[in-house]
Amino acid sequence: MGLLLAGDIGGTKTILRLVEQPDAGELYSLDEATYPSRDFPDLVPLVQQFLQAAAEHLGYMPVPQKACFAIAGPVVNNTSLLTNLGWSLDAKRLEKQLKIAQISLINDFAAVGYGVLGLKDSDLLTLQTGKHQPDAPIAVIGAGTGLGQGFLIQQGNSYQVFGSEGGHADFAPRSELEFQLLKYLLDKHDIQRVSVERVVSGMGIVAIYQFLRDKQYASESPEIGQIVRSWEAQAGQSEKTVEPAAAIAKAALENSDRLCQQTMQIFVEAYGAEAGNLGLKLLPYGGLYVAGGIAAKILPLMQDGRFIHAFTHKGRVSSLLERVPVHIVLNPQVGLIGAAICAARL
């Protein structure tokens, strides 16, 4: 039996969880807390404060043997530089200063990959049952701030998690309207290629809205228009005070704004098409999991058939994707669950 420390480190907040690992048994959470990341100069004092607070709750000072921290940014050789926080993290330094024997730093989407292994049925909403194969690859895709993609391959009795940069692959338009969207983005940003992340992400929702607005495909409501213009006025600022993507999605869910509805239709279809592209490359009959911060918030739009139609609409090989189980991850702490699973495997 041992104690594990799991963390989900973002530019805005850091969530820490103390986990107990019985011998070869299920992981149990002992304590958890969330902290504003910018209130600390480094991860070390944050962890120390958490462990001290946990000691007051538990009645003894916890001493984790292993830890894993999921980082919202690139991780190279167990090190990571969080430029938006000014943190430079190195697992060896953290092990020494925190007196934890083994620490692993992993990308936050790799943590999501581990996390899907620890989800319960209640944490998932199934869009397509498919035909599950226990030994087949598992795929993970998630639109949020960006577009994460990864996959899991079974090795023995467990899975190995692999990250990817699939979100930076080229956006592939499938209709005249999407071709116009592609040209709009190329001209607007004076670039030579458009990644799928520019369309399938939170910023992608705003980009689609701007395209439809500027091309006058539908009239703009004063309320949403003001939110988007306020956001546009804050271009270049590291912290924005408005979130137009959330407002656009909300208006679409409420059927209160035609421009927002059309925006989200394009977004969901592009999301499904890209998930299908990932599915073709991996044939993930172990399941394709849709994570990220957006899908669970727009469930009615994900369930109306557009996503799965775009997912399976692949010509002669469409039948291959009809066999893939497709699930939406409802648990927002899947990354934290994954960090704990990763720590347990160190």
Task: Report the CATH number that the domain containing residue 337 is assigned in CATH.
Answer: 3.30.420.40
Domain check: are 267 and 185 in the same one? Answer: yes
Residue 266: exposure state from Cβ atoms within 10 A (0-12, 13-18, ≥19): buried
Q: Are residues 103 and 247 in the same domain?
A: no
Count of domains observed in the chain: 2
Residue 222: which CATH number? 3.40.367.20
Return the structure tokens found at 47. Answer: 């962890």
Distance between CA atoms of 22 and 24, rounded to whole angstroms?
Answer: 6
Tens place of pLDDT per residue across the chain (346 aa): 689 999 999 888 999 999 998 876 689 899 999 999 999 999 999 999 999 999 999 999 999 999 999 998 889 999 999 877 889 999 999 999 999 999 999 999 999 999 999 999 999 999 999 999 999 999 999 999 899 999 999 998 889 999 888 999 999 999 999 999 999 999 999 999 999 999 999 999 999 999 999 999 988 999 999 999 999 988 766 666 788 999 999 999 999 999 999 999 999 999 999 999 999 999 999 999 999 989 999 999 999 999 999 999 999 999 999 999 999 999 999 999 999 999 999 9
Residue 209 lies in a domain: yes
Residues 218 and 305 in one domain: yes
Alpha helices in 222-332 (DSSP H): 222-233, 244-253, 258-282, 299-302, 306-312, 318-321
Estimate to the nearest angstrom the gap between the alpha carbon of 174 and the chain centroid: 25
Instruction: Round to whole Å and give the CA distance between 150 and 78.
Output: 18
Range of the domain at 35: 2-119+331-344
One domain, residues 278 and 337: no
